[in-house]
Amino acid sequence: MTVPDSQGHFGMYGGRFVAETLIEPLEELTRAYEKYIQDEDFLAEFDRDLKTFVGRPSPLYHAHRWSGKLAGAQIYLKREDLNHTGAHKVNNTVGQALLAKRMGKSRIIAETGAGQHGVATATVAARLGLECVVYMGAEDIRRQAVNVFRMKLLGAVVEEVTSGSQTLKDAMNEAMRDWVSNVDDTFYIIGTVAGPHPYPVLVRDLQSIIGRETRQQCLEATGRLPDALVACVGGGSNAIGLFHPFLEDASVRLIGVEAGGLGLPTGRHAAPLSAGKPGVLHGNRTYLMEDEHGQIQPTHSISAGLDYPGVGPEHAWLKDSGRVEYVAVNDAEAVAAFHDLTRTEGIMPALESSHALAHVMKIAGQLDSEETVVINLSGRGDKDIETIADMEGITL
Amino acid sequence: MSRISSTYQALRQQNRKALVTFVTAGDPNPQVTPDIMQALVRHGADLIELGVPFSDPMADGPVIQRANERALEQGVALANVLEMVEQFRRFDSQTPVILMGYLNPVEIFGYEEFAGTAAAAGVDGVIIVDMPPEEAALLNRHLRARGLDQIFLVTPNTTERRIETIAGIASGFLYYVSVKGTTGGKQADALDVSEKLRLVRSKTDLPLAVGFGIKDAGTAAQVAGYCDAVVIGSALVETIHIAATAGADIAAEIGSFISPVRFSLDKAA
């Protein structure tokens, strides 16, 4: 069975569950994506932007001291934190903005939770001279004031969303409503591998640069493929980007780490693959955090970037097929990993990425010192220092 | 013949347009919804669309979003909405009732279970806003098996080929969304509506209803000439909300709001 099928189904997951008004724009986007993803000029321009604007390739760094301290496998970090704007998000926004330009769209909209995708979108919109509106929940605006200001400096309009739980899922609802109302001139840059077809494949293909580079860099550094890849999963774009080029390599163990929040038994988490069930939200069928009546549940994670009740449909498929293992790490474990890497390697990881680090801290002891583990360091932690200070009762 | 088809047929014979009214189930509270449904019929509604509350109503504007939130705060679930229909049916065996909402509550309920329970409760049709025909085959089969109509939306940007696809799977009537936007948004342009409806009409014999952006007697009359039914939603939901908040007589306020719309539709016909 090839996935996805022509309508974006990964087995029973994915698809296109949207209001009729969005069908034609999604068809238009699918046609453009299918055309340009094979178009040499487009790919050359994307490649050039990734090199000269984003700063790719991002290095694969051997964390010697941390590996030694954990006394297990050799740990390598894929340094997406070194990208322009500080996270993997920009790989996708650069690509989608180029697509928007070729499709003749003059206005860009996006949703954002922590603000990383919003900043990455505002950045590419500024560069291409496109109008940009970013939807952000009122609650997140309060928590992420610095990123809000960053987006405004870049010329974006940040629209406060006060409906529902006033977080990322509601921002996505509002972006969809904007798109429905302005389909003719507007391009919606979704920030993760979720949403209606073709977004899950489009974002995956744009983010797969992470895995392709890792493969080559790992072969150069160690002479063989890695034994395991580990990445955090919110919507799941950095994880799919890293995993996808390795799906056929049965020897490579793939581990996705969800946000366990205050612990899975408390229900206060953002781990739909670990503790949710299949349903339909935001245009696709996938694992969701929902109650027994099908209402979407509030989520909790210390990391705003993982604080989402759904997950990309390809992850749902990879979970059911067993190709990827999904686990959850709670807030406290992620914060401990944040401190540990910062002190041991002089690299301050994003709280999102710290979930992946925390899981490796748990399993490193079971691994042989000859084994290689690559962790996707999907973003840098500067944005999170206020959260850390808050936790420790420090006022900055 | 289904209640929906016979209602449209009767109105057509009288050369009248159908008035379709949308209210959110459980707003302002679950107890009053069956009374609201009866008041709608008393004041001239021909069909009732009952909104099933959902936490993430992506296709709705602020008015219906808030109505969803108010209903959910009181714990209104799909099963409760079906109970409301059952109650309404004790007093009204004629007026078609159509559930309108999003897929996930139906998904969790289970398609077959939902079709059976809804039919037993006296539901006549279902509109699932985020379920285009491409994804609808399985649910559609269960609904048909229970004699329920699945109603689909057609929009200004639906291509000619898709209109054919939609007409092929839909039953009951087609719901033409007159604007690109959410419920309760900008007003429809009657000329654009008439052109597109002519195209839709050439593809199907199903009755055509027009909704989104129709807020009063004037806007209803403008589009009535091109279709078989007009749908009025957000403006009605807002009227009920204001009446409930003010402690006014909701049924009487519904009457003041609906009667002129009914009057203008009958005059337009």
Q: What is the pLDDT of residues B193-206, one digit of tens each?
A: 888 999 999 999 99
**Average pLDDT, integer, range B177-183:** 85
Q: pLDDT confidence of A56, banded at 50, 70, 90?
A: very high
**Average pLDDT, integer, range A102-115:** 95
pLDDT of res. B191: 74
User: Does B59 contact A19 at a Cβ distance shorter than 8 Å?
Assistant: yes
Active site residue B124: no
Please determine, for residue A165, whether its predicted confidence score (pLDDT) is greater than 90. no
- Integer Cα distance of A319 and A316 in angstroms: 5
| pLDDT tens column, A311-336 | 999 999 999 999 999 999 999 999 99
Judging contacts by C-beta atoms under 8 Å, the chain A residues touching residue B131 are 17
Residue of A58, A67, A78, A111 marked active site: A111
Q: pLDDT confidence of B67, banded at 50, 70, 90?
A: very high
Judging contacts by C-beta atoms under 8 Å, the chain B residues touching residue A9 are none
| pLDDT tens column, B8-42 | 999 999 999 999 999 999 999 999 999 999 999 99
Residue of A67, A303, A353, A378 marked active site: A378
Distance (Å) of CA A383 to CA A119, A133, A156, A257, A329: 12, 21, 19, 20, 20
* β A107-112/A131-137 pair status: parallel
Tell me which fold the domain B3-268 belongs to: TIM Barrel (3.20.20)
pLDDT of res. A1: 54
Q: Are B98 and B126 spatial neighbours (Cβ–Cβ below 8 Å)?
A: yes
Please determine, for residue B269, whether its predicted confidence score (pLDDT) is greater than 80. no
Q: Higher-confidence residue: B88 or B1?
A: B88
- Integer Cα distance of A71 and A69 in angstroms: 5
- Integer Cα distance of A339 and A341 in angstroms: 6
**Average pLDDT, integer, range A211-219:** 98
Residue among A21, A163, A293 whose CB faces B157 most closely? A21
pLDDT of res. B268: 73
Residue among A23, A181, A290 whose CB faces B132 most closely? A23
Which has the minimum average pLDDT: A80-84, A256-260, A302-306, B34-38? A302-306
Q: pLDDT confidence of A167, banded at 50, 70, 90?
A: confident
Q: Higher-confidence residue: B190 or B134?
A: B134
Residue of A67, A78, A80, A89 marked active site: A89
| pLDDT tens column, B136-179 | 999 999 999 999 999 999 999 999 999 999 999 999 999 999 88
pLDDT of res. B160: 95
What is the pLDDT of chain A when averaged over all its residues?
96
Measure CA of the first residue to CA of the last residue in chain A; give whole Å.
54
Task: Name which of B137, B101, B132 is nearest A23 in CA terms.
Answer: B132
- Integer Cα distance of B246 and B230 in angstroms: 28
Q: Are A372 and A227 spatial neighbours (Cβ–Cβ below 8 Å)?
A: yes
- Integer Cα distance of B208 and B99 in angstroms: 17
User: Does A24 contact B157 at a Cβ distance shorter than 8 Å?
Assistant: yes
**Average pLDDT, integer, range A73-101:** 97
Residue in the block written with tokens 């004041």: B43
Q: How many CA atoms lie within 13 A of A367 on its CB side?
A: 23
Q: Are A309 and A299 spatial neighbours (Cβ–Cβ below 8 Å)?
A: yes
Judging contacts by C-beta atoms under 8 Å, the chain B residues touching residue A288 are 104
**Long-range contact list for B244-252, CB < 8 A, 24+ apart?**
B244/B27, B244/B28, B245/B28, B250/B28, B250/B32, B250/B35, B250/B36, B250/B39, B251/B35, B251/B36, B251/B39, B251/B42
In this complex, is the C-beta atom of B56 within 8 Å of any C-beta atom belonging to chain A?
yes
Q: pLDDT confidence of B182, banded at 50, 70, 90?
A: confident
Active site residue A45: no
Q: How many CA atoms lie within 13 A of B103 on its CB side?
A: 24
In this complex, is the C-beta atom of B137 within 8 Å of any C-beta atom belonging to chain A?
no
Map residue A154 onto helix, strand or coil: coil
Q: How many CA atoms lie within 13 A of A366 on its CB side?
A: 6
The percentage of chain A sitting over the pLDDT mark of 90, rounded to a whole number, equals 92
User: Does B104 contact A280 at a Cβ distance shorter than 8 Å?
Assistant: yes
Active site residue A378: yes
Sorted by where each begins, the domain ranges of chain B are 3-268
Q: Are B235 and B215 spatial neighbours (Cβ–Cβ below 8 Å)?
A: yes
Map residue A182 onto helix, strand or coil: coil
**Average pLDDT, integer, range A69-85:** 97
Q: pLDDT confidence of A144, banded at 50, 70, 90?
A: confident
pLDDT of res. A36: 96
Please determine, for residue A13, whether its predicted confidence score (pLDDT) is greater than 80. yes
| pLDDT tens column, A253-289 | 999 999 999 999 999 999 999 999 999 999 999 999 9
